[in-house]
Structure formats: structure tokens, C-alpha cells
Amino acid sequence: MKKIGEGKVGTSALSEAVAGENIYPVSPQRVKDMPFRERPRELMDRLGAENLPDAALLALILRSGVSGVSVIELGQNLLRDYGSLTAMAKASLDELAAVRGMGRIKAQVLKAALELARRLVEESAPVRPAIRAPADAAGLLRETARTLDREVFWALLLDTKYRLKRSPVEISSGLLDASLVHPREVFREAIRTASAAIVLVHNHPSGDPAPSTEDLRVTRQLIEAGQVVDIDVLDHIILGHRNGTSGSEYCSLRESGLIDFTLRGGKA
């Protein structure tokens, strides 16, 4: 099949190309100068939004171009400059408005459309559990830790509502000490994901969740590091077994009072 842009393409061939290959005949010409059946609105009516590429959908959202820049060319320029819809969504309103052919109103419309898309994804995503108590953190990793014969250290990355931003991050495996659990490793993913807070978790294969001197030292070090990068360390949970000497499955260093988890800003 001749690709669009390699010469004149008939209407039926155009429909087949767009529906079958997700290709759109984007060109810098004005929409009103395009053949009627090749205009974005007509193509959407015939083929559906799911069969139109990003440039055509952007043309529909932005509606019109400006002198010297057609709306189709404007959509192409945005995709070229930002490289992806994700990068475009991260751009500020002022940044989008400054793009030639955009202006404040088009930037607002585009930001609104991208924000609705983000909310749709969030709405359809599985509910992320909230970590609001030590039992929540312990329950999340209890079964994973139960069969381990070595110490494993995890970080639970949380948003401002204390919901998990992703699955628990394994930081180290082996005897817990400061050389294995370096603040750089603990906070790298938290910073990358813009986490508001973290909960530290590790297991004691012996079954006794009572904290060691090293557990306390590492925890204090990480609390101090968290204050530097403005990410709250909410708690450190040590997982054991119910048949441990303490008679409990886990120990919360925050609840135990052995560590001062005083957080800035009055957060509990």
C-alpha cells in the first residue's frame, strides 16, 4: 500500500490507511483547505477517536491555528518539541502558552484535556492501599517475609494521603547495617517518584522482632537524611513471627518510643 504523503491518496485508501495503520495525513495546510473527508472532525466521525494519531486528536482539541501555523502543524510542533504526551502534560501553563500558535486559552484547554486523561487513568487503576498504621505496613509484607532466611530491607513509598505509590522497594538483602542501607539507596526512588513520606520495613529471620542497636542506629540515620530531602520517615517496622520471644509478629519503632519520629509541619 502506498503510504500517505507519497502522492495523492484516494478517499477509500485514506480510510483504510488511517484505520489499519493509524496514520493521519497531517500537513501544514489549513484544515479548510483540506479535502472534506480528510479533515480531523470528519475522520473522527468515520473512524473513531481510537484510530486517530496524537497530532489529529490535538488538532481537534486546539480547534484552530494562527496565521502561518495551521492547527495540524501546531499539533505536530507540540509533539516534536515535547517528544511525548507525558512530557507535554508536565509542562506548565505558561510554558505551553508561550509556544507559537498556542496562547493562554489554547494552553488552558490542552492542560484541561491532559489532566482529564490523567484522572481517567487514576480512576481505572487498582486502588492503592493506604499505610495509616503499623499493622498496615506489617500486613503488606508479612507473607513475603515469613519464609525468608535472610534479612531484607524495604521502603514503602507514600503520597500525601499515605497511599502506596508503587510496590515495596527492596533496598538490601543481608544483615542490616549502615553500609547496606545507605540513605542514597533508600531515598533515590522516593525522590524519583516525588514521594511525600516513606515507611521502613525489614525482617528478623530469627522470628524475634525486637530491635537491635544497629536497627536503631540505621533508623536515626535515615530519619535525619529524610529531613534533608524533605521526605518524612513515618516508621520502621521490624517483622518477626508470633512465636518470637516478644510474642508479637512485628515491632513498630515509632510505637515503641525507642526512636523520636517527630516530623516537621505537625504531621502525625
The pLDDT value recorded for residue 11 is: 36
- What confidence tier does 200 reach under pLDDT thresholds 50, 70, 90? very high
Are 258 and 214 contacting, i.e. CB atoms less than 8 angstroms apart?
A: no
Angle made by CA atoms 130, 132, 133, in degrees to the nearest 5 = 130
Chain mean pLDDT for the chain: 80
**Least confident among 27-41, 42-56, 138-152:** 27-41
Q: Which CATH superfamily is domain 11-124 in?
A: 5' to 3' exonuclease, C-terminal subdomain (1.10.150.20)
How far, in Å, CA of 96 to CA of 91, rounded? 7
What per-residue confidence (pLDDT) applies to 12?
39
Query: In this structure, what C-alpha cell is assigned to residue 117?
Result: 486523561
pLDDT tens column, 214-260: 999 999 999 999 999 999 999 999 999 865 455 678 999 999 999 98
- Give the per-residue pLDDT at 10: 37
Average of pLDDT values for 190-216? 92
Which three three-digit cell numbers place residue 178? 549502615
The 3 state secondary structure assigned to the chain is CCCCCCCCCCHHHHHHHHHHHCCCCCCCCCHHHCCHHHCHHHHHHHHCHHHCCHHHHHHHHHCCCECCECHHHHHHHHHHHHCCHHHHHHCCHHHHHCCCCCHHHHHHHHHHHHHHHHHHHHHHCCCCCECCCHHHHHHHHHHHHHCCCCCEEEEEEECCCCEECCCCEEEEECCCCCCCCCHHHHHHHHHHCCCCEEEEEEECCCCCCCCCHHHHHHHHHHHHHHHHHCCEEEEEEEECCCCCCCCCCEEEHHHHCCCCCCCHHHCC
Cell of 219: 533508623
CATH 3.40.140.10 placement within the chain: 134-266
pLDDT in tens, 133-185: 999 999 999 888 887 888 999 999 999 999 999 889 998 887 655 446 788 88
Distance CA 84, CA 82 (A): 6
| Fold adopted by 134-266 | Cytidine Deaminase; domain 2 (3.40.140)
HSE (side-chain half, CA atoms, 13 Å) at 44: 13
CB 187 within 8 A of CB 229: yes
Neighbours of 79 (CB within 10 A): 18
Q: Among residues 243, 170, 176, which one has the least CA distance to residue 212?
A: 176
Q: 200 has which bridge partners?
A: 155, 236
* pLDDT, tens digit (0-9, with 9 covering 90-100), for 128-141: 789 999 999 999 99
Higher pLDDT, 192 or 199: 199
pLDDT tens string 251-260: 999 999 999 8
pLDDT per residue as tens digits for the range 85-110: 888 888 889 999 999 989 999 999 99
Report for 17-21, 56-60, 72-76, 228-232: range of highest mean pLDDT = 228-232
